[in-house]
Amino acid sequence: MAQSIYTAEALKAELNSKGCRMTPQREKILKAFQELPEGEHLSAEDLYHKLQAQNENISLSTIYRTVKMMARMGILRELELAEDHKHYELNQPRPHHHHHLICVKTNKVIEFKNDQVLSISQKVAEKYGFQVLDCELRIVGISPEGQRSIF
Amino acid sequence: MAQSIYTAEALKAELNSKGCRMTPQREKILKAFQELPEGEHLSAEDLYHKLQAQNENISLSTIYRTVKMMARMGILRELELAEDHKHYELNQPRPHHHHHLICVKTNKVIEFKNDQVLSISQKVAEKYGFQVLDCELRIVGISPEGQRSIF
DNA sequence: CTGTGTGCAAAGAATTTGCACCAAA
DNA sequence: TTTGGTGCAAATTCTTTGCACACAG
């Protein structure tokens, strides 16, 4: 099952099985996400700077290529929050998925968890023969602060 | 309640109450979405071409400005499907919200409905004092076809 | 009239791509 | 040695913005 591959060795094996290669860059990117506290997520740019701060010079192009690849492998989950760029985080095994409550006016984002959502997703995916990599309930609305503003 | 404003008159009233104005462009954009079959959605570009085809020349800028505004008013829902641009559709009253099952490999999108998701959303939003405009369960995974492809 | 909305063209931001060189397997 | 990966810079794509003119209230 793809979503529990977290060691560098396992990543290498997974890559090789697809005719792809392990590289220092890929290993460091994986490590960066593993070191991230639960609930945090990075944009490509964030990751780039985080690595720079650790004296790891990996180009932005490689980062974009790698995170997209890892998302397709089910290692990372790709989040679309209110901003206009994607964020990534490790795709946790089933019980840790979390969801988002987003304000259209203030762009405020609240995270929450919910087990029912997970089982619903599982059931729906099964019906269509899909293998679930990720599920996310996005509730879009207006926060208390937003309700006060005219526009 | 914002989400049931569908007539041009109601839109006008809603706009005026906020110091905004009704325009032919806004009316035509609303109409375009109303004519859309249930379950279909348009990108800004799609909408632009659809209007062109009806000999309605509305600029892309106006379209972008208008759909974003209508989404913030709760008239349209903004969808982030697998592609890298947003799609819009009329925001149906509660029981019609639908959700998406998306394949990361083939970009195939399947729509489905689920009442439980709706009540979960309502409950969560209430807890944080949010007014719900829209909710969407996004299940990301690999379709049967995708499972066959190497990458 | 007053100020909001529109169209145009230009600017921006995020992401992707072509290509020469580098390095896993 | 072969083929996939990386870095760089340029190109794309989607979206936003400044400004002059048009028009709704």
Task: Please check whether residues A145 and A133 belong to one and the same domain.
Answer: yes
The tokens describing B64, both together, are 């972008």
The tokens describing A126, both together, are 């099964």
Between B58 and B105, the higher pLDDT residue = B58
Task: Please check whether residues A2 and A55 belong to one and the same domain.
Answer: yes
Task: Please check whether residues A100 and A90 belong to one and the same domain.
Answer: no
> Which helix (H) or strand (E) covers residue B77, if one does?
strand B76-80
Check if residue A65 sits with its Cβ under 7 angstroms from strand D: yes
* Strand-pair partners of A134: B140
Task: Please check whether residues A90 and A100 belong to one and the same domain.
Answer: no
Predicted confidence at residue A94, as pLDDT, reads: 58
- pLDDT category at A21 given cuts 50, 70, 90 is very high
Task: Please check whether residues B21 and B61 belong to one and the same domain.
Answer: yes
Do A141 and B150 lie within an 8 Å CB cutoff? Answer: no
Q: Which amino acid is at A20?
A: C
From A94, A109, A128, the end of a domain falls on A94
| CATH number assigned to the domain comprising residue A79 | 1.10.10.10
Task: Please check whether residues A112 and A81 belong to one and the same domain.
Answer: no
Partners of B139 on chain A (C-beta within 8 Å) are 121, 124-125, 130, 132, 134-135
pTM of the model: 0.79
Do B117 and A120 lie within an 8 Å CB cutoff? Answer: yes
CB under 8 Å to A149, separation ≥6 — which residues? A105, A106
From B64, B94, B124, the end of a domain falls on B94
Partners of A72 on chain B (C-beta within 8 Å) are 104-105, 151
Task: Please tell me what DSSP assigns to residue B3.
Answer: G
Task: Please check whether residues A99 and A50 belong to one and the same domain.
Answer: no
In percent, the amount of chain A with pLDDT more than 90 equals: 45
Calpha distance A42→B65 (Å, rounded): 29
Interface of B with A (CB under 8 A): 18-19, 71-72, 77-78, 80, 99, 101, 103-105, 110, 112, 114, 116-117, 120-121, 124-125, 128-144, 147, 150-151
From B94, B114, B134, the end of a domain falls on B94
Q: Of the candidates B146, B121, B151, which has an alpha carbon nearest to the alpha carbon of residue B136? A: B121
Predicted confidence at residue A140, as pLDDT, reads: 84
With 50 as the cut, is the pLDDT of residue B3 above it? no
Task: Please check whether residues B15 and B58 belong to one and the same domain.
Answer: yes
Q: Which amino acid is at A105?
A: K
Calpha distance A42→A49 (Å, rounded): 10
Do B121 and A137 lie within an 8 Å CB cutoff? Answer: yes
Of A18, A133, A141, the CB nearest to B141: A133
- The structural domain count of chain A equals 2
Q: Which amino acid is at A94?
A: R
With 60 as the cut, is the pLDDT of residue A4 above it? no
Task: Please check whether residues A87 and A76 belong to one and the same domain.
Answer: yes
Task: Please check whether residues A77 and A39 belong to one and the same domain.
Answer: yes
The pLDDT tens digits of the residues spanning A33-83 come to: 999 987 788 999 999 999 999 999 999 999 999 999 998 888 898 887 666
The pLDDT tens digits of the residues spanning B69-126 come to: 998 888 998 887 766 788 888 887 665 678 989 887 777 888 898 989 989 999 999 9
Check if residue B16 sits with its Cβ under 7 angstroms from strand C: no
Predicted confidence at residue B7, as pLDDT, reads: 87
Predicted confidence at residue A1, as pLDDT, reads: 35
Q: Of A22-31, A76-85, A129-138, B7-16, which gets the smallest average pLDDT?
A: A76-85
* Strand-pair partners of A90: A76
- pLDDT category at A129 given cuts 50, 70, 90 is very high
Do B140 and A78 lie within an 8 Å CB cutoff? Answer: yes
| CATH number assigned to the domain comprising residue A108 | 3.30.1490.190
Q: Which residues of A21-40 are buried (b: 16+ CB within 10 A; e: fewer)?
A: ebeebbebbbebbeebeeee
Range of the domain at B106: 95-151
Partners of B128 on chain A (C-beta within 8 Å) are 101, 110, 143-144
Task: Please check whether residues A54 and A4 belong to one and the same domain.
Answer: yes
Calpha distance B76→B151 (Å, rounded): 35
Task: Please check whether residues B99 and B88 belong to one and the same domain.
Answer: no
Predicted confidence at residue A54, as pLDDT, reads: 94
